[in-house]
Structure 1
Amino acid sequence: MSDRTLPHLALSAHAHNREGLHRTDDAWLAERWADPSTRVLVLAGARLELVDGAPRWLSPDEAPDGERILLGDRDGVTRFAVLVDPEDAPEGEWVGLRGAFAHLMGHHDEAPWLFHAVGLAEWRRVTRHCPRCGGVLEPRRGGHELRCTSCGRPQFPRTDPAVIMAVVDDETGEVLLGRQASWPENRYSTLAGFLEPGESFEDAVRREVLEEVGVEVGRVDYFGNQPWPLPASVMIGFVAHATSREIHVDGSEIAHARWFSREDFGRATESGEIAVPQGVSISSSLIQDWYGAPVESSGW
């Protein structure tokens, strides 16, 4: 990976102290909630409110009633999220996390807060009953644990690891990009897929590339990672070194794939022949790192 600052890395450069040791300290939680400097992000389901394109942070006095989640502290300021039913949300511009990406490009320090809050909100939205007995779940530990009121089984937020990779041909310097069947004709990106049980990240890269495009991969180099709570993933990025070139798309996940030289890629993106990820995604970073320069593209 080059020394250039890449978008997905910038989003992880301002991590907050999650105050895990204080999640069961009711007196500390009450003290921080009572502090007027504390900031609160309200989430309706897993959607947040934007004001002039930026996430709206409130004081505790302004926040509505709802389930409180401790996010943590940075620079002496504690932050919480409050979860409310979407039907109880006031009038406003409520968007999913993708709707805030344009703001995050200029305010990287907010990304860890939003990823943390939205990830927990998504978890709470889909985790309604105990998977063992179907009992009622009660939030604990500052919103980071659910415990069944019937059998006592605890539930914790889950994160599904996914691999994402730039497949490269070391002899030609080309990169392999694919288009999902559901995408517009000109949209291309790196390949990706979820880790399966008992599988290493490197083996997942090799399996996914072979399954999706029929290309064999040898060496797999780690690139970086990115939280991706859409709804509950972390993207583990790799550069996959191809040992074959013939493409056979699976036809279900990938409708078309092709090799690009840097010259062909630059011409295709500048002309609008293809559009590739832009902004904060690790896919964009993988492509930029291979290309060696910012990518001029209509983006998506």
Structure 2
Amino acid sequence: DIIAESLGSHLREDFVSVDDYASNCGATYRVVGLIQPDPGAEVVAFAAQKVLFHGPGIVAYVDDNGDWHALNASTFPNVYRIAWTTNQGKISENQPQSPGAPGDLGKTASAGDTGKYVLLAAEQMTLNISGNNAIRFVVVSGETPIGGYQPGISASYIGVNLDGPRFFRNMILWISGYMGELKFVQQYINDQKTMSQQLTQANSNLLMAQQTISQLQQQLQQAQSALSSANGQITQLSSQLSQLNTQLSKVNSTANSALNAANSAASPSLAYAGIIVGILALIVALVAVAMKPKK
């Protein structure tokens, strides 16, 4: 922890041990860590799934104020959580504060806590080296990768096959930036991410299209409903117009009948009047002749 702090890293090894009751080499303290890196560090899991952490501690995060945080519960900028216990991890305390006394030195976990814990993490840092910014990594592990009682680089332990040699080669290639054969793995991962993003975008576009179709269908239903209502109104108006035409025909028929009756009644009277006028004209003519002086 002193070395990590002196380098400016936020990563620390907490002062507790962790056992794993599901993934181990015959005893809970012989933890077989699962390589499940955060996004951005996926390449280190190439051909490496299980690595030995013999009697490990857990990795924690210390912020700029000096406060400790559990790495298993949160993500932090430029920090990649890489190796984990299973969900059946359990915190134990093997170093009491004084001989024979109960120990409780953990900063982010206490003896008896259970869950999934971080066994190895890396922090990407930008350092000024000879006036130039350079990317460097600080890796903090709960157990020694090389050396120690039984190192993480082990290929097998007590009959359990492990991926230690491949994993730590991956780690060195990754943090050095050299990559080696991992270049092809990284390209595959990048292509996979691109395809995943394209698929996500396609699914999003499909969802939007489906929503648009649904809206258009609703609008079509509304238009059909309005058209049906308009057709009903047209039918009603046609019926009313037909009734009016019928009534108008009746009125016309009645008017024609009345006119014919009037014409029929008026014809004899006109004849009599004509005769009377003719007689009067004849009388006037006779009188005029009678009164005409004789030569």
Same fold (TM over 0.5): no
Q: Shorter-chain-normalised TM-score: which range?
A: under 0.3
Larger Rg: 2
Which one has a larger percent helix, Structure 1 or Structure 2?
2
